Structure 1
Amino acid sequence: MALGDLERSVMDLLWDLPGAHTANDVRDALPGNLAVTTVLTVLARLEKKGMVRRDGGRRPHRYAATSTREEHTVGLLNDVLGSVPDRQAVLTRFIGGIEAEEAAAVRRLLDS
């Protein structure tokens, strides 16, 4: 699931900081001068998308990522690969465009 710029910034923050955080925590950690209502709107959208969970048991609510950055990225890759008729062509171009060290890592993973 693709994210907008502000959604990406919020998710990057939640992925980088362990635990759950209030909307004020998130706002304070983001660059710029965002209103807390803006952050709450973004968090609500991310919750609807299943990317964050809200601990509603206490106030203020705390939000945490439901998956890791890596799990999200794998989901994006699977979505893209699932939408093309020739997966092998896409994978071939992808592998052909990565650095030699990354290609070696892929080979090691496939051999294990």
Structure 2
Amino acid sequence: MRRLGELEAEIMDRFWRWDRPATVREVVDDINEHRDAAYTTVTTVTSILFHKGHLTRTRDGRVWHYRATASREAYAAALMEDGLGASEDRPAALAQFVENLDEDEIEALRKALRDVGRRAKE
């Protein structure tokens, strides 16, 4: 999975935070509270995100309503999986990854591993 570009990430951030269908106009208006973004540019990038599978859309009259297909966490996990896939030695890549974690992240990883282990036993 390719990492999102700057505007793609900015658009997806809205859908992930809002966790509801939204129109391009809503996204543009929110982005424009922080910086200028052209409606046509946001429309084009939103359409690209739809065609890449990051968004679904439904039509309401003449307006498309878009929604994220997966959570921000699922997207991050897919990026990590792709990163691991780039290595010929997955255990070494995992070890290198863990070396870069802080204590809170290591504890979160331990908890995640325990939770996955419990679910696997069920």
Calculate the TM-score normalised by the size of structure 2: 0.85
* Residue of structure 2 in register with 1:64 after alignment: 67
- Structure 2 distance, partners of 1:108, 1:66, is 26
Q: Give the alignment of 1:1-112 within 5 angstroms.
A: 1-30=2-31, 31-112=34-115
The CA deviation string for residues 27-46 of structure 1, in whole angstroms up to 9 with x for no partner, is 00113222211111010110
State the shift of 1:108 in Å. 2.9
- Structure 2 distance, partners of 1:86, 1:74, is 19
Gaps of 5+ in 2: 116-122
Tell me the SS of whatever aligns to 2:63: coil
Task: Give the counterpart letter for 1:46 in structure 2.
Answer: L
Higher mean displacement: 23-32 or 97-106: 97-106
The CA deviation string for residues 11-67 of structure 1, in whole angstroms up to 9 with x for no partner, is 011100121111110000113222211111010110111001111243211111110
Task: Give the counterpart letter for 1:28 in structure 2.
Answer: D
Count of aligned pairs between the two proteins: 112
Higher mean displacement: 95-104 or 19-28: 95-104
- Structure 2 distance, partners of 1:108, 1:67, is 23
CA-atom RMSD, angstroms? 1.3
Task: Give the counterpart letter for 1:45 in structure 2.
Answer: I
Tell me the SS of whatever aligns to 2:44: helix
Gaps of 5+ in 1: none
Identity of aligned residues (%): 35
Task: Give the counterpart letter for 1:78 in structure 2.
Answer: E
Task: Give the counterpart letter for 1:21 in structure 2.
Answer: A
